[in-house]
Amino acid sequence: MPKAGFSVARFSFLVLAAGMLGAAMIAAPAAGQTSSCAPASGKCFAVTVSPSTPAAGASTSFAFKITNEAATQQLGSVQISAPAGFALTSAPGAASVTMGSALFLNLPLSTQGSATTLTVNATVSCNRSTSGYQWGIEAKQSNDFNGTGNDFQLDPSSAGNLSGTLTGCAFQPCPPNNQCSASASSGTTLGTVVTTSPLPPGDSIVTGMGSGSAGSSFNFSCGTKPPVYTPLSDVFEFAVFNGSGIPQQGVTLTVTLRIDKSVVTSSGHPGASSWQICYASTESFNALAGTSQQNVTIGGSPGYFTGLLPNCSSTQGAPCVQARNKNNAGDVIVTFLALGDPFAHG
């Protein structure tokens, strides 16, 4: 049975690659270890998370129920950190949200037993080496998540509640004769693809996120002459397939890539206007002068054309860049038109 490949798009930039945003982890205590958490007198809290078996390749709303177990201390603020391969898209009521974390301040947890439920929405990448994952969480007595010596300790009996298991990643079926969308994410990159017109019945979109780090088989650049744009984001892969699993070429797609503020800040180029798309396709396309390359191997498969995308205009159609912006969180968002031209092999 043929295996599906992908059309590949990727952010690039004229700087050295930035480091990945790390997620804090909390592990369960080792067997036989005695708990140092004393709910009757210490600053402790409990947490439950639902769901614990989300679907990969989809957007999921996670509910964190936080309970103050301290007898005499308030719990004023909480920071939730996303597992590797997750990208936070929103967190209602949070003071700040990035792809990697959400910060909640001024919580109403002043007495022992008081509880509140915090919600974070996240997309989960299909491209993961393991189905297991673990959230990170920190809590403080202060309402503004500042200061030292006022940390709350997670009740060891709650540590396992931060872990979960992803269910399998399948194609995103498209509703008959309607537009369709799908997403994939990593800790610092979120990609969303939307069809520009309705698809025939039975068509599906598949997406993935490949590592853009040095040494990855998906690591590619655009151009051999200065200025050479060095990739910063991970690689967003996407394709359209019909009901028989045959890749559909020539389908026009609107793609949005969101790069986390942490990468934008470390790049030294905070403005959105200078960010570029380094694009790869099995079909030749019009690229910015001096950036075109041929027969590039990506993901172990040769034969790709690569280059930086030009801006869209009345004379320049897909693939091309439509818009570059920054959101209130400081993330860079680039929207571009692409063509669904993946490859397939036995």
Give the closest residue to 223 by CA, choosing from 287, 278, 292: 292
Q: What is the spatial distance between Cα 134 and Cα 144, in angstroms, rounded to a whole number?
A: 25
Q: What is the spatial distance between Cα 79 and Cα 287, in angstroms, rounded to a whole number?
A: 43
17-67 pLDDT, tens digit per residue, is 221 111 222 222 223 333 346 644 478 999 999 998 887 766 788 999 999
Q: What is the spatial distance between Cα 256 and Cα 331, in angstroms, rounded to a whole number?
A: 12
* 286 C-beta neighbours (distance < 10 Å), count: 13
Terminal C-alpha separation, the chain: 6
Domain boundaries, the chain: 3-19+188-345, 44-165
Residue 151 has which token pair? Answer: 């940390």
pTM above 0.75, yes or no: no
CATH 2.60.40.10 assigned to 44-165: yes
By mean pLDDT, which of 12-16, 71-75, 302-306 is the weakest? 12-16
DSSP string, 173-225: EPPTTS--EEEEE-SSEEEEEEESSPPPTT-EEEEEEE--STT-TT---B-SS
pLDDT at 84: 80
Give the closest residue to 100 by CA, choosing from 272, 275, 325, 258: 258
State yes or no: cis peptide before 156, omega within 30 of 0.
no
Q: What is the spatial distance between Cα 80 and Cα 90, in angstroms, rounded to a whole number?
A: 12
Read off the pLDDT band of 12 (50, 70, 90): very low
